[in-house]
Amino acid sequence: MTNTLTNRHGDEIRIGQLWADDPRRTVVRTLRIDGLDDAGSLGAVAVCTVVQAHDTDTGQVTAPGRVVTINIDRLHTTGAGNGYRRAPANTAPQGSAPSAN
């Protein structure tokens, strides 16, 4: 498809970006965008790899490697701070397992 798309909120979604789940979740995932696809009537989706999962109850950090698809319009932080948010680039370095500090 393309390397960059803009969602309905005006956020630029690019391959290689890292996004994190809503921080209120028990397990907060960090997602790396690996591709952007057209899902027909559902709109554009980001094909993402879960590069890190942090269990906020236990503090355990894992690197599941699971692939998920997310509508690009969901990749947006709301005014109340809810929803997906951009993750710092150093959250999950490529090619190495995250530490469990």
Summarised one tens digit per residue, pLDDT across range 69-92 is: 999 999 997 777 778 999 987 765
Categorise residue 65: left if φ over 0, alpha if ψ from -120 to 50, beta otherwise.
left
Residue 40 counted as domain residue = yes
Please give the pLDDT value at position 23.
Answer: 85
Domain containing 37 equals 4-85
Place of tokens 């979604």: 13
Total domains in the fold of the chain:
1
Please give the pLDDT value at position 1.
Answer: 65
Residue 43 counted as domain residue = yes
Side-chain half-sphere CA neighbours of 29 within 13 A: 16
Per residue in 32-69, pLDDT tens? 999 999 989 889 999 999 999 999 999 999 999 999 99
Partnered with residue 2 across adjacent β-strands are: none
Residue 55 counted as domain residue = yes
Cα(97)–Cα(84) distance, integer angstroms: 22
Residue 15 counted as domain residue = yes
Please give the pLDDT value at position 89.
Answer: 77
48 contacts 60 by C-beta, under 8 angstroms: no
| Mean pLDDT of all residues in 26-37 | 96
With a threshold of 0.85, does the pTM exceed it?
no
Residue 92 counted as domain residue = no
Please give the pLDDT value at position 95.
Answer: 45
For β-strands 18-20 and 12-14, DSSP reports them as unpaired
